[in-house]
Amino acid sequence: MDDDDGYFGEEIAGRYDDSSDPMFDPAMVEPVVDLLAELADGGRALELGIGTGRIALPLAQRGVRVHGIDLSKAMVARLRAKPGAEAIGVTIGDFATTRVDGSFSIAYLVFNTISNLTTQAAQVACFRNVAAHLQPGGTFVIEVGIPDLQRLPRGETYVVFDFSETHWGIDEYDVARQGMISHHFSLTDGKIERSSGPFRYVWPSELDLMAQLAGLTLRDRWSGWKREPFTSESTKHVSVWEKPASA
């Protein structure tokens, strides 16, 4: 781990923008940007964990004023090298506690990024930090997976989530502390490269309680960015909490 960049140092940043990764597919990105632009409603947007700008850049191209917070200077350097990045402000810091100037109509965390905060206290602090940045009536949007503990036999701690010719992915669970380490083994130029990162998985109801502690209320919850219904079979959720208009 890079002490300055957390778990997203140069090694990860250097290969993060893999155009073959499904998360960069326009069919995946466009529904995210559509919904965020709608919720921004002409106001400013704050992205927590802005990374290399996968969502921020196309959102800014829609005319939304985006500011980001990220701990990784290596990831942000790649964002700043891209066309259109000059329109996006970035603050280097821990998005659970870092403050920026002004207020926002929307703040968002996509692609499981809330789980990069590996303690409950940090996740609670994140909600409070967001609430302090939101203008009255503003919204906080999180996209995160549902903990897949149904795949974990009693007494087992490892689950293979991907197995292909060039990549092997294994999640290592610590159920007692809601912890998980995601291990990736990638075959690149005939060599196997390994990377691992810690996460704290979190349940929807727990996130709702964090929101209440921060003075936010649940407005919507879907199983995807196209507003698909959230059910017992959903593997992830997109949740929207709102700051009271009178706050």
Tokens standing for residue 54: 């996968």
- Residue 79, Ramachandran bin (φ over 0: left; ψ between -120 and 50: alpha; else beta): alpha
Question: Please, which residues have CB within 8 angstroms of residue 174's CB and are 6 or more apart in sequence?
Answer: 157, 180
Structure tokens at 78: 């790649």
For the chain, what are the domain ranges? Answer: 10-147+202-242, 149-196
Could you read off the pLDDT of 189-215 as tens digits, one per residue?
A: 899 989 899 999 999 999 999 999 999
Report the C-alpha gap between 233 and 198 in whole angstroms: 25
Query: What is the model's pLDDT at position 2?
Result: 45
- Give the full edge-to-edge strand order of the sheet including 44-48: 89-92, 65-70, 44-48, 104-109, 134-145, 236-242, 217-222
**Which of 69-87 are b and which e, b meaning 16 or more Cβ less than 10 Å from the residue's Cβ?**
bbbbbbbbebbeeeeebee
Asked if the 10-147+202-242 domain carries CATH number 3.20.20.450, the reply is no
Quote the pLDDT of residue 148: 86
Judge if pTM exceeds 0.75. Answer: yes
Per residue in 131-149, pLDDT tens? Answer: 999 999 999 999 999 988 8
Q: What is the pLDDT of residue 14?
A: 61
pLDDT < 50 regions, the chain: 1-3
Q: Rounded to an integer, what distance in angstroms lies between the CA atom of residue 217 and that of residue 185?
A: 40
List pLDDT tens digits, range 10-36. Answer: 776 566 677 567 777 889 999 999 999
